[in-house]
Amino acid sequence: MSKPSLADAIAETLFSREQIDAKIAELSTTIEDDYRDKNPLVIGILSGCYPFMADLTRALDIQLEVDFMACSSYEGTTKSSGVVRILKDLNTSIENRHVLIVEDIIDTGLTLKYLVENLQTRHPASIEICTLLDKHEARSENVQVRYRGFVCPNKFVVGYGLDYDGHFRNLPYIGVLKPEVYSS
């Protein structure tokens, strides 16, 4: 009998490991050109960023530093008012630093809008956003994304850092779950 596999829960692969690797190589060339000699502070937004942050920063052959933030956005009334709670703040001052935010996915844009506004008050030299996935059909906020991996269909996706109920972050590619996974 074959071993149960995470892949058994996946209905469709949206972005394969090979496609993700190729996209990271492409993004890193552009980011290296833009940030060489700027010693950027690359800020990963936990938890979903962790594989992308690790693979992207290792592909960047420039001097840089890393830090992390974690936040939670609220559903329902508070989410629609754009309230985001910072669960873990930076360890580093960003004053006069070139900041590059690394995110797994942008959906409505509420989280990043809040984070960028919050970080702007700390007087960085610049702030740009790099997201692996952009669900731009779902966007309600005006967020300027400088570096975009893939345009993502307006479906709930998992894998490569993205979870469903805490699971599937360790799936090495990005896919859509079988409907029965949600009902079980």
* Binding-site ranges for ligand 5GP (CB under 6 A): 48, 73, 103-111, 135, 156-158, 162-163
CA distance 53 to 43: 9
Work out how close the CB of 139 gets to ligand 5GP at its nearest, in angstroms, rounded to a whole number: 8
Work out how close the CB of 26 gets to ligand 5GP at its nearest, in angstroms, rounded to a whole number: 22
How many Cβ atoms from other residues are within 10 Å of residue 39's Cβ? 12
User: Angle at CA 126, nearest 5°, toward 84 and 140?
Assistant: 40
Residue with smaller CB distance to ligand 5GP, 2 or 77: 77
Residue with smaller CB distance to ligand 5GP, 27 or 152: 152
What is the β-pairing status of strands 10-15 and 174-177? antiparallel
Residue with smaller CB distance to ligand 5GP, 106 or 119: 106
CA distance 58 to 24: 10
Work out how close the CB of 163 gets to ligand 5GP at its nearest, in angstroms, rounded to a whole number: 5
Respond yes or no: is residue 107 known to be catalytic: yes
- Among residues 55, 107, 134, 165, the one annotated as catalytic is 107
Whose tokens are 């993004």? That residue is 27
Specify the DSSP element, H or E, that contains 26: helix 17-35
Residues whose CB is less than 8 angstroms from the CB of residue 15 and which lie 6 or more positions away in sequence, other chains included: 23, 133, 150, 160, 173, 174
Work out how close the CB of 37 gets to ligand 5GP at its nearest, in angstroms, rounded to a whole number: 30
Residues whose CB is less than 8 angstroms from the CB of residue 171 and which lie 6 or more positions away in sequence, other chains included: 6, 7, 10, 158, 159, 160
Residue with smaller CB distance to ligand 5GP, 38 or 47: 47
Active site residues: 107
